[in-house]
Homo-oligomer: A and B are copies of this chain.
Amino acid sequence: MEDTVEQPKAHGPHGYSARKDDHVKRLRRIEGQIRGLQRMVEQDEYCIDILTQVSASTKALQSFALSLLEEHLRHCVADAVEHGGPEADDKVAEATAAIARLLRS
> Which residue numbers of A lie inside 8 Å of B, CB to CB?
1-3, 12-17, 20, 23-24, 27-28, 30-31, 34-35, 37-38, 41-48, 50-52, 54-59, 61-62, 64-66, 68-74, 76-78, 81-82, 88-89, 92-96, 98-105
Is there contact, CB below 8 Å, between B24 and A38? yes
Copies in the complex: 4
**Which chain B positions have C-beta within 8 A of A82?**
81-82
Cβ contact of A46, chosen from B14, B62, B81, B101, cutoff 8 A: B14
- 19 A-B pairs, CB-CB below 8 angstroms? A1-B42, A1-B44, A2-B44, A14-B44, A27-B41, A30-B34, A31-B34, A31-B38, A47-B69, A51-B98, A52-B98, A54-B102, A55-B102, A61-B61, A69-B96, A70-B96, A73-B92, A74-B92, A78-B92
Residue in B23, B47, B102 whose CB lies within 8 Å of A41:
B23
Q: Which of B34, B66, B77 is the one whose CB lies under 8 Å from A103?
A: B66
Q: How far is the CA of A101 from the CA of B59 in the complex (A)?
A: 10
